Structure 1
Amino acid sequence: MPEDNQEAEAAASYWERRFAAEGMIWGGAPSPTAAHASALFRSEGVRTVWVPGAGYGRNTKALSEEFQVSGTEISASAVELARDWDPRSDIRQGSILEPQEGEREVDGVFCYDVIHLFLAGDRGRLARQIRRRLRPGGVLYLTCFSDEDVNCGRGEQREPGTFVYKPGKTAHFFAFGELQELFPGFEVMEEAHITEALPGPEGLHSYRLRIWAARAGSRSAAE
C-alpha cells in the first residue's frame, strides 16, 4: 500500500477515535477565521460554500448563517454531532481526497487547518479536489500551519517542512509561496498570519497559522 494511503487510513482512524471519545473537541465557538472568510465571501458574492474536513460543524455553523454550506468529513461520529450542532449545513461522511456522489460546483471553499495534516502526495490530491469543486472565479479561503510556528523543525522530519512535532502528530509547516505552488492559476487575494488558541488535554495551546485567500482561475490555466 502506498505510504500516503497508509497515512490517510491512519488519520481517519485517529479522528474517528477522537470524535467518538471526546465529542466537540474544540468547543462550540468558531475560529475567528470563519468571520474573516464570511466577510470576504460576502464581498465576492459567494452563495455556496464547501468545507472539506468539516468536523462536527464548529465553523460551518457560523458560515451557514449566511451561505448554503456543504461539508465532507471522514469521521462518522463527527458527522452525527454536526447534524445536531449545525442542521443548516449538509455535512456528509467521505474522503476529502476523492470525488463524492452528488457533489456540486461551489462559489467558495473554506479549508480550515486541514491541508497541513497530509504528506505531499495527499496535499496535492486535496488541492486538485478543491480546484475541481470551485467554479472559475470562485474564492478559496484556506488556513494551515505556518513555518513561523514554534513547532516547525521539532521532531523527526518526514519530508521537507513536515515533522512529527509531538508523539502521533505529523504536520507540514507551510512557507511563503508554497500554497501558490499547490494552486497554480489562482490569483492571490490575501496572505497573512494569525495566532489562534485552541483547547486541548493540557489546556489552551497557541498555533501560528497562515491565512491564504485566492480567486480560482480557469481550470485549463491550473493544468
Structure 2
Amino acid sequence: MRHSPSEAWDREYSKPDPLWKGPPQADVSVSQGARVLELGCGNGKAIAALAKNASEVVAVDISRVALRACGAAVPSKVSLARADVLHLPFADRSFGEVAAFHVLEHISQHDRPLAVEEVRRVLVPGGIVHVRAFSTRDMRCGKGEEIEPMTFMRGNGIPYHYFTADELRSLFNGFEEVEMREATSPKRFDGKDYLRAELVAKYRA
C-alpha cells in the first residue's frame, strides 16, 4: 500500500531516527537582505544558514510532523507554513530567492515542470533559485523499485529521482544558469567505499 506524499513524509519524520536527521547545513548562502522561500524545509537543517543573510525566510513543507520537528527555536525572521510545492499559497513575484534543496527528486516526472513554474511565478524578475538534487552517481541510485526512468521507490513510500546535469538544465529551461557543479563526498560502510553525489545549481529567473 502506497501512502500520499504527506502521509509518507509524516511517517518518516515520526520515526525516532528519521533518514533526514543530518547536521545543520552551513554551506548555503543567499544574498544580503533577500526575502527567501525555502521549499521542503523538512526538520529545518538549512533554516539557520538561510536566515543569516536574509531579511525574511518563509520555510514550507508538506509534512506537519516535519514542521513541528523544526522546533520553536527558529530565528524570529523565519516563519513556517504547510504548503505543497505544486500549489504555493503566495502571490506572484513575492520572493527574491527560492531554495529547493532535495525537493525536486521527490516529485513525479509529470509534476516537476509544474513545480519549476511555481518557482518562476513567485520569484521577482531576476530572482535566484538555489537547487540541490541527487546525482545519478549517488551511491543510492538504483535502490528500490524503478517507477519512472531513474526514479526509485523505496520501502518508505517516498520516490527518489536521480538527475544528470543536462536533465536539470532542461528542467530549468528559460532560466539563466549561474552555477552547476557536482558535490561529492566519500562514504565507507562495512569495509566498502561509496560515493554520495549531488548536483548543486543556481539559476536566475
Does the alignment reach a TM-score above 0.5? yes
Q: Which residue of structure 2 aligns with residue 62 of structure 1?
A: 49
1-side partners of 2:174 and 2:118: how far apart?
A: 15
Residues 2-31 of structure 1 show CA distances to partners (whole Å, capped at 9, x for unaligned) of: xxxx97x62210111222333886447322
Question: Match for 1:52 among 34, 39, 42?
Answer: 39
> Percent identity of the aligned residues?
27
Residues 21-49 of structure 1 show CA distances to partners (whole Å, capped at 9, x for unaligned) of: 33886447322442xxx1xx33xx56111
Q: Which residue of structure 1 aligns with residue 109 of structure 2?
A: 120
Instruction: Supply the AA of the counterpart residue of 2:161.
Output: H
Matched residue of 2:165: which SS?
coil
2-side partners of 1:129 and 1:197: how far apart?
A: 34
TM-score, with normalisation over the residues of structure 2? 0.82
Q: Which residue of structure 2 aligns with residue 17 of structure 1?
A: 11
Q: Give the alignment of 1:1-223 within 5 angstroms.
A: 10-22=4-16, 26-27=20-21, 29-34=23-28, 38=29, 41-42=30-31, 47-67=34-54, 68-88=56-76, 89-100=78-89, 105-164=94-153, 166-168=154-156, 169-195=158-184, 207-216=196-205
Shift of 1:81: 3.0
2-side partners of 1:92 and 1:23: how far apart?
A: 23
Instruction: Supply the AA of the counterpart residue of 1:112.
Output: F
Shift of 1:196: 5.4
Distance 1:149 1:131, change over 3 A: same
Distance 1:23 1:163, change over 3 A: closer
Instruction: Supply the AA of the counterpart residue of 1:128.
Output: E
Gaps of 5+ in 2: 188-193
Structure with bigger helix share is 1
Distance 1:197 1:116, change over 3 A: farther
Distance 1:85 1:57, change over 3 A: farther
TM-score, with normalisation over the residues of structure 1? 0.76
Shift of 1:153: 3.5
Shift of 1:212: 1.0
Gaps of 5+ in 1: 1-5, 199-204, 217-223
2-side partners of 1:186 and 1:213: how far apart?
A: 9
Q: Contact 1:53/1:73 (CA < 8 Å) preserved in 2?
A: yes
Distance 1:97 1:143, change over 3 A: same
2-side partners of 1:32 and 1:207: how far apart?
A: 17
